[in-house]
A and B are shown apart, each in its own frame.
Chain A
Amino acid sequence: GQNIDQPTEMTATEGAIVQINCTYQTSGFNGLFWYQQHAGEAPTFLSYNVLDGLEEKGRFSSFLSRSKGYSYLLLKELQMKDSASYLCVLINDYKLSFGAGTTVTVRA
């Protein structure tokens, strides 16, 4: 099975940078997704890491270290609309396993 840990809550100021860490223990691993979910809405795809290293997409970057069972999502130049839950999601074969999500609150 999978065990995925990420912080429950984080608060940051508009314009700042926030890093959301995700550690995992898994019996099988094919990749790791990060999703953004606003309250009451379905998750939106942010990034997908298969190989070790950093993937950058605009203000969002995601890092993966498979040997350490570790990933992070980096949000730069925070905007108010970035207030949401961020889900660390493992994929093993075709099945997804979800972390509990990190609620990020951006303050003015």
Chain B
Amino acid sequence: GAVVSQHPSRVICKSGTSVKIECRSLDFQATTMFWYRQFPKQSLMLMATSNEGSKATYEQGVEKDKFLINHASLTLSTLTVTSAHPEDSSFYICSAPEGGQSAGNTIYFGEGSWLTVV
């Protein structure tokens, strides 16, 4: 079946530095990918929609200059957390619908990335 791979699975960085998280669709093309954040014991919260070849669409309250998204190809989207602070520590998850944005397609999740900012 379709697989979405996310890397790194865990990362620790110093406050003020930037961290890049990659999301790859391994056996299908993903014109759209989604980035979520999940704090402990809370539901997934959509941060932004990544579109191949165009700018990402950010949800209200998400700083686009802080969470840079680049959808470089049909199989790769990256999320860069810039000038990270301890409050950015969270579980970040990407997902991609197989077959594009059609509502009838299954959406697969990456494995998630644990970010700890110290």
Contacts of B111 in A (CB 8 A): 41-42
- Whether B32 is near chain A, meaning CB under 8 Å from some CB there, is yes
Residue of A nearest to B59 (CB): A95
Cross-interface CB contact of A42 among B43, B103, B104, B112, cutoff 8 Å? B112
Q: Is the CB of A94 within 8 A of B112?
A: no
Binding site for A on B (CB under 8 A): 6, 32, 34, 42-44, 46, 49, 91, 93, 95, 97, 101-104, 106-112, 114
Contacts of B42 in A (CB 8 A): 100
Contacts between the two chains (Cβ within 8 Å), count: 53
Q: Is the CB of B110 within 8 A of A94?
A: no
Contacts of B46 in A (CB 8 A): 95-96
Q: Is the CB of A42 within 8 A of B93?
A: yes
Q: Report the bound CA distance from A40 to B41 in whole Å.
A: 10
CB distance from A62 to the nearest CB of B (A): 13
Q: Report the bound CA distance from A99 to B32 in whole Å.
A: 22
Q: Is the CB of B103 within 8 A of A91?
A: yes
Q: Is the CB of A50 within 8 A of B34?
A: no
Q: Report the bound CA distance from A98 to B107 in whole Å.
A: 13
Q: Report the bound CA distance from A42 to B96 in whole Å.
A: 13
Contacts of A11 in B (CB 8 A): none
Binding site for B on A (CB under 8 A): 30-31, 33, 35, 40-45, 48, 50, 87, 91-96, 98-101
Q: Is the CB of B106 within 8 A of A94?
A: no
Q: Is the CB of B109 within 8 A of A42?
A: yes
Q: Is the CB of A94 within 8 A of B93?
A: no
Q: Is the CB of B43 within 8 A of A48?
A: no
Q: Report the bound CA distance from A98 to B39 in whole Å.
A: 14
Residue of A nearest to B113 (CB): A42
Q: List 13 contacting pairs A-B, 8 Å CB cutoff, sorted by A.
A: A40-B91, A40-B114, A42-B6, A42-B110, A43-B93, A45-B106, A45-B108, A50-B104, A92-B103, A94-B97, A94-B101, A95-B49, A96-B46
CB distance from A76 to the nearest CB of B (A): 22
Q: Is the CB of A94 within 8 A of B104?
A: no
Q: Is the CB of A41 within 8 A of B112?
A: yes
